[in-house]
Homo-oligomer: A and B are copies of this chain.
Amino acid sequence: MDNQHYLPTPTGLFFDDFTIGQKLTHGVPRTISSADCTLYTALTGSRFALHCATTVANAAGFAEMPIDNFLLFHIAFGKTVNDVSLNAVANLGYAEIKFSQPCFARDTIAVSSEVIGLKENSNGKTGVVYVHSKASNQHGGLVLSFKRWVMVHKQVGAAASGINKVPQLNTEVSVAQQSIPEQLQLQQWQDSFSDYQRKASDFKVGDTLFHRDGITINDSDHSLATRLYQNNARVHFDQHLMANSKQGKRLVYGGHIISLCRALSYNGLGNGIWLSAIHSGSHCNPSFAGDTIYAQSTVLAITAIAGREDIALVKVQMLGIKNNNPQHMQYLVNHADGKKKYHPDVVLDIELTLIMLK
C-alpha cells in the first residue's frame, strides 16, 4: 500500500512523563467471575477453604464465597501496569496494602492511581515512581488501596530534573486501619474445614513454619496467571525480547510468586482464612519458569480483637525461596553488615496480617 506509514502505539509513561499529584484513571474495568476463582485455584493450588465451598462461606457468615484478596490484588495491580510500569526496570516494593471490604463474583473493579513521589536516579536514565492506587467496585465503594514504587526508564535524551520527592510510607498498616469483613463470624466453623490445623492461640511470636510443599513453575502457569490479571508488562511474555536481556528469559510476575507462597502456606497456616493487610513486600530476586518455589512463615505478632472470641489477627513474615530448603540454608536475610542482604535463592519477603481462627 503506497500511502502506508507507521503511527506510534501507546508505550506507557516514562519517568519524565510523571508529575507529583498526577491522577491516572486506568483502563479496562474488570468484572470478577467465579471462573476467575476457579482458574486461580488451578494456577496456584490454593486450598483456603473459605474460597472453595459455599457451605464453608455460609458457615463463616458470608452469603456466598468471597473473592480471595490475593486474586483481587493481582487484578487491581494488573490494571495499573499499562500506565505505571510498562517501562519499568524493576518493581521495587509495596506498602500499605489495605483491603476495605470483600468482593464477590460479579463485582466489577475499576482502578485509579495518584503519583505520590518521584526520585530521579543519578545515572540520568531512570527514576523511581511512587503511586497510591485505589480499586473501587461498581457501587463506587473502595475495596483495596495500595502503594508501590517502581524504577522506570526516562525517555531517551530526557533532561535531568533533579526531582527527589520521596513520600513518607508507613512500615505497617495499623490494626485500627485493618478491616474485618462485617459478615465474618467463625463460631460455626468446623475444624475439619481446614484440616484440624493450628489456630491463633496455638502460635506464639517467633514460631516459624517451613511449609514443606514445593511447586515448580511451568511457563504456561505464570503466563496464564499474568494474562488472567491482564498485566501486560512485556518482560513476562515476550521471549524474543527477553532473549537479549541480562537474564535471557521471561521473568515470572512477582505476584504469581506471592500467590504460590500463599497457597503453599495453607499447610501450617490453613486457619489464616482472610488477608486483612499486606504491610510491605519486595521481590528480592527474580524467578523463572522451571524454578521450584517453597515458602516459610514466621509469626511476628498475635493481636486479640476486642469483643471477638472467634478470631485474632496474626501478623506474619512470609519468605519465598526457590530451589532450596530454608532449613538447610545458612541464611535467608542477612543483617550482619548493617544492610539487609538476601540469599540469592530468596525471591519474596512480604509481611502480612491474617485473620485467623482463635
Q: Which residues of B contact A239 (CB under 8 A)?
A: 214, 216, 290, 292
The DSSP consensus for interface residues of chain A is mixed
Give the nearest-CB partner of A241 in chain B: B214
> Could you say which of B5, B54, B82 contacts A206, with CB atoms under 8 Å apart?
B5
- Stretch of A35-43, A94-102, A160-168, A304-312 lying at the B interface: A35-43
Give the nearest-CB partner of A36 in chain B: B38
A210 CB to nearest B CB, Å: 6
Q: Which residues of B contact A121 (CB under 8 A)?
A: none
Q: Which residues of B contact A30 (CB under 8 A)?
A: 52-53
Contact present for B55 and A138 (CB under 8 Å) = yes
A64 CB to nearest B CB, Å: 10
Which residues A55-75 have CB closer than 8 A to chain B? 55-56, 65
- Given known A-B contacts A7-B207, A42-B227, A45-B227, A108 and B33 have beta carbons under 8 A apart: no
Q: Which residues of B contact A227 (CB under 8 A)?
A: 41-45
Which residues A176-197 have CB closer than 8 A to chain B? 192-197
A40 CB to nearest B CB, Å: 10
- Given known A-B contacts A41-B227, A227-B43, A31 and B5 have beta carbons under 8 A apart: no
Indicate whether A282 reaches chain B with its CB closer than 8 angstroms. Answer: no
Contact present for B218 and A223 (CB under 8 Å) = yes
Indicate whether A341 reaches chain B with its CB closer than 8 angstroms. Answer: no
Contact present for A27 and B47 (CB under 8 Å) = yes
Q: Which residues of B contact A234 (CB under 8 A)?
A: 213-214
Q: How far is the CA of A193 from the CA of B226 in the complex (A)?
A: 20
Contact present for B194 and A267 (CB under 8 Å) = no
* A→B interface (CB under 8 Å): 1-7, 9-11, 25-31, 33-39, 41-45, 47, 49, 52-56, 65, 82-83, 106, 108, 110, 138, 192-198, 203, 205-216, 218-221, 223-228, 230, 232, 234, 237-241, 250, 267-268, 270, 290, 292, 294, 298, 300, 323-324, 327
- Add 20 more A-B contacts to A47-B232, A221-B223 (CB < 8 A): A1-B298, A3-B206, A4-B206, A6-B208, A6-B327, A7-B207, A7-B208, A9-B268, A27-B47, A28-B195, A29-B49, A29-B52, A30-B53, A42-B225, A47-B230, A55-B138, A214-B234, A220-B224, A238-B292, A240-B323
